[in-house]
Amino acid sequence: MLRRNLKHQLRYPSMTLMIIGIPVIFLLLFVYVFGGTLGAGLGGDRSDYANYVTPGILLIAVAGAATSTAVSVAMDMTEGIIARFKTMAIFRPSVLTGHVLGNVIQSLIGLAVVIGAALLVGFRPRADFVGWLGISGMLLLVTVAIVWLSVACGLWAKTVESASNIPMPLLLLPFLGSGFVPTESMPTAIGWFAEYQPFTPVMETLRGLMFETAIGKSGIVAVAWCVLLTVVSFVWAKRLYNRDPRQ
């Protein structure tokens, strides 16, 4: 199942290009168009803003991958291939697990490219080897959580078209968090939402690990959100897969 999904990604590279292209475009836009002004607002310059904004851009890359996952799952569910798989000697959970592993690999490749692009525009992390292990672990945790959620969304969707739209709100969460400006600068209601939504502690944890600053309770909250989202999405996906009437 993993090999099958990786082959699909090679044959239809548009989704992979979108996962890489959208965050890179946002990175260039915010660093080169808004970076001077926003960097000055943070007490620095354009390069300081590149350091600040990169964790948010990475979360946009993770959220962007959700659309690819949801679409590929919905295509399997609507084209009848699942019914054929169920008549074969295939380990039942492997169908969904193959989607998850394949899309996690796709997402991690996209994240590596985005980090490379960020380095080219002035991103200068100070993390040591242990810090990069923590960064990698945090990115892996949030990627697995979002991929399982998008698998459930793909199973829940009635059509491929609707599956491509359901994960889109995830792209807004880095903007409605600390991804581009501090939450303290926002109006009270929006600032409250930004402070307590799932992506903000993840971005704060990444920022702290990248620049060796204190992360406080953000690390624990971020891991808790990722684990909770993964478990809930896994249970939801499993129930949908076992009971879906299209099978």
Q: Mean pLDDT over residues 133-139, rounded?
A: 95
Give the model's pLDDT for residue 86. Answer: 66
Pick from 181, 99, 128: which is nearest to 136 by CA? 128
Per-residue pLDDT band at 193 (split at 50, 70, 90): very high
Q: Mean pLDDT over residues 192-206, rounded?
A: 94
Which tokens belong to 91?
């380990």
Instruction: Output phi, psi for 243, to 5 deg.
Output: -115, 0
pLDDT at 235 over 50: yes
Q: Which of 65-69, 203-207, 241-245 has the lowest mean pLDDT?
A: 241-245
Which tokens belong to 19?
């996962």
Residues 68-105 have pLDDT tens digits of 888 888 888 777 777 677 677 777 678 888 889 988 99
Residues 48-71 have pLDDT tens digits of 999 999 999 999 999 988 888 888
How far from chain centre, in Å, is Cα 77?
23
Question: Considering the chain, what is the average pLDDT of its residues?
Answer: 88
pLDDT at 162 over 90: no
Percent of the chain surpassing pLDDT 90: 46
pLDDT at 246 over 60: no
Q: Mean pLDDT over residues 176-204, rounded?
A: 91
Cα–Cα distance for residue pair 225/198, rounded to 1 Å = 6
Radius of gyration of the chain (CA): 19
Cα–Cα distance for residue pair 177/204, rounded to 1 Å = 10
Residues 19-42 have pLDDT tens digits of 888 899 999 999 999 888 888 888
